Structure 1
Amino acid sequence: MKKLGSSKIINIIFSLLMAILLAAYVLSIKNYSNSTNSNSYSSLIPEKKATITVPLTFQYNSDDYVIVGAASTVSVNVQGSSALVTAAKNHNDIAASADLRGLGAGQHTVNVALSGVNSSLSANASPQTVTVTLAEKSSAKKNVKVQYDDSKIATGYSVTDETSDVNSVTVSGPKTNVDAVSYVGADVDLDKNTKSNVSEAAKLTAYDKDGNAVQVTLSQTKANVKLTLTKAQSSKKVQLAAQASSGSLSAYDISFDPSTVTIYGSSDTLNSIDTLPVNLDLSNITSKTTKSITLDKPSGVDQLSDQKVSVTITPKSTNSSSSASSSSASSSSSSN
């Protein structure tokens, strides 16, 4: 009986071991089959690599600081299925950012974080860290100055008036840059040989005292500017010349105050004029007379420096009589 019982126990143990071994074998075969199928499936999907350039944004205390000398983009290397990589390149939903919150003024090296990457893709930023300088933020109000290249204005023309709808702007940025700004220029882009009035939206740029551009942020980037152009006038000083409308010039001594006037007009017109004639009525003048005469503007002359002059007319007979009287008086005095 003991031998029979012992035999049954041995058979049970043997059967249990065989069952365990058989289960392990089946499980390993199943895992191998799944692994093979998975690898076969993966091998059927082509993979692709690509590099995408994405904008780099910064998180920082923009009320107190500005960023100096930081990169604006980073490269992102992606790898995965061809379809997903192509979609990532076309839609470019990937974004890169660097967190500087809680950091103060100075230079900092921070990690680049990626977002918007499909979970089935592998991706890494290049570079994975960036060096950024935080500078103390400053701001100031600066005057706007209209400026243009006057060599592009046609010969014979000049700007007689200039207006801008923006007279001042606020510049902000690193304190050293803001302190360097002398003015903000409204730069008007002129065509060569400009003759007519100009009206355009001029770009605003901050400049230092030497006229070099300064990198700052402006509260406005453009100003509406108008330039008024007029044909420039030449000028010439000429002598006044008496001209008798009646009577004889030879019978009078004539003087003008002022004796010259300045005439304005085109250079061609002025070149043809050497004196300015003044018409005088010399009839019935028997003694020294002073008159105020209105000058006539010659044809082609746009303007005169003086509209009226004073003229003194002295009959020569009066001068002769005065001289003779003086001579007689002198002779009488000598004989006495």
Structure 2
Amino acid sequence: MKKLASSKIINVIFSLLLALLLAAYVLSIKNYSNSNSSNSYSSLVPQKKATLTVPLTFQYNSDDYVIVGGSSSVSVNVQGSSALVTAAKNHNDITASADLRGLGAGQHTVNVALSGVNSSLTAAASPQTVTVTLAEKNSAKKNVQVNYDESKLANGYSVTDTSTDVKSVTVTGPKTNVDAVSYVGADVSLDKNTKANVTQSVKLTPYDKDGNVVQASLSQTKANVKLTVSQSQSSKKVSLEVQASAGTASDYEISFDPSSVTIYGTSDTLSSINSLPVSLDLSNILSKTTKSVTLDKPTGVDQLSDQKVSVTITPKSSSSSSSSSSSNKN
């Protein structure tokens, strides 16, 4: 009986060991199968690489410093499934940043960090570090000056007036740059042979005294500008011509002071005017008379050098009588 019981115990132990070995074998086979299945699935998904250009932003104390010479973008190399890489290229939600917080004025080399990368993609910035300079911030108010190319105006035309809704802007940047800004230009683009008034929304640009662009930030980047374009004004001196509204001019000696005036207008208008008529009422003038006369501005004339002239009117009969009287006395 003891020998039989001992034999049963041995069989039970042997059965347990065999069961454990079978379980271990099945588990290893299952893991191997899953591993192969996963690898097979991965090998079936098409892989793709791409290089994206993404914006680069800087984190820094913008109240006290400005960035000098920093790049505005970096390249990002992405790799993964074709669908995810294509989606990244189409939407490009990836952004890059460089952290300069806590750093002072001077040149610094910092790492580029990426965000917005799908967890199933691998991505690396190129370059992985950027070198930028922090400069102490300065600002000053500068006047806006309207610029345009006079050679684009038609012959005989000129800009007689300019206006802009922005008179001055605040220029911000490194002190040396801000100090170098002489004015902020509102650059108007003209078509060839421009003859009409021009109204444009134009970009504002900081310039130094030599007309070179200065790297600086502006509180306002655009302005609305208007140019008044008209035919260039010419001038011409013309004599004064008596035009009697009453009486006969030939009965009088008439002189003007000044004897001629200068008229202003377009060359086309002035070419047809050789004298300026002065309307005079010669009725009831029996003796030498001097009076002031207001001149009429001819059509097309913009301006007269004199608005009024003095005219002296002497009756010829009176002059003859005076001469006879003087001879009789002698």
- Give TM class, smaller chain: 0.7 to 0.9
Moved more, 120-129 or 185-194: 185-194
TM-score for the superposition, normalised by structure 1: 0.77
User: Within 1, Cα distance between the matches of 2:249 and 2:92?
Assistant: 98
Is the aligned partner of 1:83 residue 2:83? yes
Give 1:237 deviation, angstroms.
0.8
Match of 2:309 in 1: 309
Match of 1:220 in 2: 220
How many residues matched? 316
Contact 1:247/1:283 (CA < 8 Å) preserved in 2? no
Q: Gaps (5+ residues) in structure 1?
A: 329-336
TM-score for the superposition, normalised by structure 2: 0.78
SS of the residue aligned with 2:61? coil
User: Within 1, Cα distance between the matches of 2:249 and 2:51?
Assistant: 102
Give 1:290 deviation, angstroms.
3.0
Give 1:122 deviation, angstroms.
1.8
User: Within 1, Cα distance between the matches of 2:34 and 2:299?
Assistant: 108
Give 1:148 deviation, angstroms.
2.4
Give 1:32 deviation, angstroms.
4.3
Match of 2:261 in 1: 261
Distance 1:262 1:31, change over 3 A: same
Aligned letter for 1:185? G
Match of 1:165 in 2: 165
Distance 1:173 1:50, change over 3 A: same
Write the deviation string for residues 186-230 of structure 1: whole angstroms up to 9, x where unpaired: 223333333333333222221211222222111111222233344
Contact 2:237/2:262 (CA < 8 Å) preserved in 1? yes
The 5 Å alignment of 1:264-275 reads: 264-275=264-275
User: Within 2, Cα distance between the matches of 1:225 and 1:238?
Assistant: 38
Distance 1:293 1:83, change over 3 A: closer
Aligned letter for 1:71? S
Contact 1:246/1:280 (CA < 8 Å) preserved in 2? no
Contact 2:242/2:249 (CA < 8 Å) preserved in 1? no
SS of the residue aligned with 2:85? helix
Moved more, 116-125 or 175-184: 116-125
User: Within 2, Cα distance between the matches of 1:177 and 1:247?
Assistant: 73
Match of 1:115 in 2: 115
Match of 1:102 in 2: 102
Contact 1:54/1:74 (CA < 8 Å) preserved in 2? yes
User: Within 1, Cα distance between the matches of 2:297 and 2:71?
Assistant: 69
Aligned letter for 2:236? K
Distance 1:179 1:287, change over 3 A: same
Distance 1:126 1:325, change over 3 A: farther
Match of 2:40 in 1: 40
Is the aligned partner of 1:236 residue 2:210? no
Contact 1:67/1:133 (CA < 8 Å) preserved in 2? yes
SS of the residue aligned with 2:264? strand
Aligned letter for 1:246? T
Is the aligned partner of 1:125 residue 2:125? yes
Q: Gaps (5+ residues) in structure 2?
A: none
Contact 1:57/1:72 (CA < 8 Å) preserved in 2? yes
Moved more, 146-155 or 101-110: 146-155
Moved more, 55-64 or 280-289: 280-289
Moved more, 240-249 or 69-78: 240-249
Give 1:289 deviation, angstroms.
4.2
Give 1:262 deviation, angstroms.
0.9
The 5 Å alignment of 1:21-32 reads: 22=21, 26=25, 32=32
Match of 1:195 in 2: 195
Aligned letter for 1:99? D
Match of 1:93 in 2: 93
User: Within 1, Cα distance between the matches of 2:118 and 2:255?
Assistant: 100
Give 1:299 deviation, angstroms.
5.8
Distance 1:291 1:47, change over 3 A: closer
Write the deviation string for residues 21-43 of structure 1: whole angstroms up to 9, x where unpaired: 95798366555444433333322
Distance 1:281 1:38, change over 3 A: closer
Determine which structure has more spread, i.e. the larger CA radius of gyration.
Answer: 1
User: Within 1, Cα distance between the matches of 2:149 and 2:322?
Assistant: 62
